[in-house]
Amino acid sequence: MEIEARKAAIVTVKKVPTVLPESVIVTFFLLGALSSVAFRAIILFQKFGPAWVRPVWYFGVIGYMVFFIYRYGISLRRKRTIAQTNIIETLKGGAALSAEDREAALYLLSSIQKSREDWNYLAIFILSVVAIALDLMLPGK
């Protein structure tokens, strides 16, 4: 009886993850943005506070390491969901979606929709433009 219950538990393991809470998404977005700011600020610290270059660089690198391993995990979750549910093949075949297929599709679409990655890319671009402009306008040491 106990073996049958374990088998049933294994069979009912969800293939479709849930979207992470908004607070987690925002926290990692802010970490990525702050790491980006740190790297762009190095140009200013080189000119006005050289002693801060290394600590700011370490903050940027460690922040990016944590941020990108988080993003890597999100990417793996999405790809695993696609692989485990065969949602692409189901859609290509024109078959009716099962409840699990719908759940997988909703997870994938919600995950993309709630992601702040587009804002992160835009912030990195704008901060890079600002860093280059400041470097060209401010006097060097």
Count of helix runs (H) and strand runs (E) in the chain: 6, 0
Please indicate, yes or no, if residue 8 is contained in any of the structural domains: no
Please indicate, yes or no, if residue 6 is contained in any of the structural domains: no
Please indicate, yes or no, if residue 51 is contained in any of the structural domains: yes
Number of domains in the chain: 1
Please indicate, yes or no, if residue 9 is contained in any of the structural domains: no
What pLDDT, on the 0 to 100 scale, is given for residue 106? 94
What pLDDT, on the 0 to 100 scale, is given for residue 87? 93
For the record, the structure tokens of 99 come out as: 């409840």
For the record, the structure tokens of 103 come out as: 């759940």
DSSP H or E stretch at residue 45:
helix 22-48
Task: Say which amino acid occupies 92.
Answer: K
- Full domain range(s) for residue 98: 20-137
Please indicate, yes or no, if residue 12 is contained in any of the structural domains: no
Rounded mean pLDDT for each run of 10 residues along the chain, 141 residues in total = 57 74 95 95 93 97 96 95 93 93 93 91 93 87 63
